[in-house]
Amino acid sequence: MAKIGVFICHCGENIASKVDCTKLAAAIGEHPGVAVSVEYKYFCSEPGQESVKKAIRDNNLTGVIIAACSPRMHEATFRKVCAEAGLNPYLCEIANIREQCSWVHNDNDMATEKAMDITRSMIEKVKRNNKLQPIEVPVTRRALVIGGGVAGIQAALDIANAGQEVVLVEREPSLGGHMAQLSETFPTLDCSQCILTPRMVEVAQHPKIRLLTYAEVEHVDGFIGNFKVKIRMKSRYVNRDVCTGCGDCMVKCPVKKISSEFDCGLGKRTAIYTPFAQSVPNIPVIDKASCIYFKNGKCKTCMKSCQINAINFDMQDEFIDLDIGAIVVATGFQIQNTAGYGEYGYGKYPDVITGLQFERLATASGPTSGKILRPSDGKEPETVVFIQCAGSRDPSKGVRYCSKICCMYTAKHAMLYAHKVHHGKSHVFYMDIRAAGKGYDEFTRRTIEEDDASYVRGRVSKVWLENGKLMVRGVDTLLGRPVTIPADMVVLATAMVPQPNAKEFAKTIGIAYDEYGYYNEAHLKLRPVESSSAGVFLAGACQSPKDIPDSIAQASASASKVLALFSKETLEREPVVASTNEATCAGCWGCVLACPYNAIEQKDILDRSGRIIKRVASVNPGLCQGCGTCVTFCRSNSIDLAGFTEKQIFAEVMAL
Ligand X SMILES: Cc1cc2nc3c(=O)[nH]c(=O)nc-3n(C[C@H](O)[C@H](O)[C@H](O)COP(=O)(O)OP(=O)(O)OC[C@H]3O[C@@H](n4cnc5c(N)ncnc54)[C@H](O)[C@@H]3O)c2cc1C
- List contacts with ligand X (CB under 6 A): 146-152, 169-172, 177-179, 182, 185-186, 216-217, 330-333, 335, 355-356, 359, 405, 409, 412, 499, 505, 540-541, 546-549, 551
636 counts as binding ligand SF4 under rule CB under 6 A: yes
Say if residues 228 and 323 touch (Cβ distance below 8 Å): yes
> Greatest CA separation found in the chain?
94
**Distance in Å, CB of 631 to ligand SF4, minimum:** 6
Note the residue count of the chain: 656
Distance CA 90, CA 131 (A): 6
The DSSP annotation for 280-336 comes to SS---EE-TTT-HHHHHS---HHHHH-TT--B-TT---EEEEEEESEEEE---EEEP
Other C-beta atoms within 10 Å of 161: how many?
Answer: 15
Per the DSSP assignment, residues forming a β-bridge with 32 are: none
499 binds, among other proteins, ligand SF4, ligand X, none (CB under 5 to 8 A by kind): ligand X
**Distance in Å, CB of 307 to ligand SF4, minimum:** 56
Closest to 275 (Cα-Cα) out of 351, 172, 349: 172
Angle between helices 192-205 and 150-161 (to 10 degrees): 40
**Distance in Å, CB of 212 to ligand X, minimum:** 9
Q: Which one, 213 or 629, has the nearer CB to ligand SF4?
A: 629
Distance CA 271, CA 286 (A): 6
369 counts as binding other proteins under rule CB under 8 A: no
510 counts as binding other proteins under rule CB under 8 A: yes
Q: Which one, 222 or 391, has the nearer CB to ligand SF4?
A: 222
Q: Which one, 244 or 636, has the nearer CB to other proteins?
A: 636
Question: Omega into 134 within 30° of 0, i.e. cis?
Answer: no
Distance CA 533, CA 521 (A): 9
639 binds, among other proteins, ligand X, ligand SF4, none (CB under 5 to 8 A by kind): ligand SF4
533 counts as binding other proteins under rule CB under 8 A: yes
Binders in 577-616 for ligand SF4, by CB under 6 A: 578, 580, 585-591, 594-595, 597, 599-600
**Distance in Å, CB of 615 to ligand SF4, minimum:** 9
Q: Annotate 12-58 with three-state secondary structure.
A: CCCCCCCCCHHHHHHHHHCCCCEEEEEEECCCCCHHHHHHHHHHHHH
Q: Exposure string (b/e) for 291-327, b if CB count within 10 Å is 16 or more?
A: bebeeeeebebbbebbeeebbebeeeeeeeebebbbb
Q: Which one, 185 or 533, has the nearer CB to other proteins?
A: 533
Count interface residues toward other proteins (CB under 8 A).
Answer: 33
Q: Which one, 191 or 655, has the nearer CB to ligand X?
A: 191
**Among residues 619, 640, 642, 651, which is the contact residue for ligand SF4, using CB under 6 A?**
619
83 counts as binding ligand SF4 under rule CB under 6 A: no
150 binds, among ligand SF4, other proteins, ligand X, none (CB under 5 to 8 A by kind): ligand X
Q: Annotate 367-407 with three-state secondary structure.
A: CCCCCCCCCCCCCCCCEEEEEEEEECECCCCCCCCCCCCHH
**Among residues 634, 640, 651, 652, which is the contact residue for ligand SF4, using CB under 6 A?**
634
Say if residues 110 and 196 touch (Cβ distance below 8 Å): no
SS3 content of the chain, % helix, strand, coil (to 5): 30, 30, 40
Count interface residues toward ligand SF4 (CB under 6 A).
Answer: 30
600 binds, among ligand SF4, ligand X, other proteins, none (CB under 5 to 8 A by kind): ligand SF4
Closest to 410 (Cα-Cα) out of 459, 354, 450: 354
Q: Which one, 15 or 405, has the nearer CB to ligand X?
A: 405
617 binds, among other proteins, ligand X, ligand SF4, none (CB under 5 to 8 A by kind): ligand SF4
524 counts as binding other proteins under rule CB under 8 A: no
381 binds, among ligand X, ligand SF4, other proteins, none (CB under 5 to 8 A by kind): none
Q: Which one, 149 or 510, has the nearer CB to other proteins?
A: 510
630 counts as binding ligand SF4 under rule CB under 6 A: yes
**Distance in Å, CB of 418 to ligand X, minimum:** 16
Other C-beta atoms within 10 Å of 400: how many?
Answer: 12
Closest to 192 (Cα-Cα) out of 404, 434, 436, 365: 365
Say if residues 17 and 102 touch (Cβ distance below 8 Å): yes
Binders in 608-627 for other proteins, by CB under 8 A: 615
Q: Exposure string (b/e) for 100-139, b if CB count within 10 Å is 16 or more?
A: ebbbebeeeeebbbbbbebbbbbbbbbbbbeebeebebeb
Distance CA 490, CA 345 (A): 9
624 counts as binding ligand SF4 under rule CB under 6 A: yes
Q: Exposure string (b/e) for 261-272, b if CB count within 10 Å is 16 or more?
A: ebbbbbbebbbb
Kindly report the CA angle at 627 between 621 and 633, in degrees rounded to 5?
100
**Among residues 593, 601, 604, 606, which is the contact residue for other proteins, using CB under 8 A?**
593
580 binds, among ligand X, ligand SF4, other proteins, none (CB under 5 to 8 A by kind): ligand SF4
Distance CA 583, CA 568 (A): 38
512 counts as binding other proteins under rule CB under 8 A: yes
Distance CA 126, CA 64 (A): 7
* CB burial of residue 33 (10 Å; 0-12, 13-18, 19+): middle
**Among residues 534, 594, 605, 655, which is the contact residue for other proteins, using CB under 8 A?**
594
507 binds, among ligand SF4, other proteins, ligand X, none (CB under 5 to 8 A by kind): other proteins
Please give the backbone phi and psi of residue 284, each rounded to the nearest 5 degrees, phi first.
Answer: -70, 170
Per-residue interface string for the shown chain with other proteins, residues 469-508, x marking contact by CB under 8 A: -----------------------------------x-xx-
**Among residues 211, 264, 435, 585, which is the contact residue for other proteins, using CB under 8 A?**
585
Q: Which one, 44 or 555, has the nearer CB to ligand X?
A: 555
Q: Which one, 314 or 607, has the nearer CB to other proteins?
A: 607
Distance of CA 398 to the CA centre of its chain: 21
504 binds, among ligand SF4, other proteins, ligand X, none (CB under 5 to 8 A by kind): other proteins
643 counts as binding ligand SF4 under rule CB under 6 A: no
**Distance in Å, CB of 534 to ligand SF4, minimum:** 12
647 binds, among ligand X, other proteins, ligand SF4, none (CB under 5 to 8 A by kind): other proteins
Task: Provide the Cα torsion 552, 558, 562, 564; round to 10°.
Answer: 100
- Which positions lie near other proteins, rule CB under 8 A? 504, 506-507, 510-515, 532-533, 583-591, 593-594, 596, 615, 633, 635-638, 646-647, 650-651
Residues in the site for ligand SF4, rule: CB under 6 A? 578, 580, 585-591, 594-595, 597, 599-600, 617, 619, 624-630, 633-636, 638-639, 641
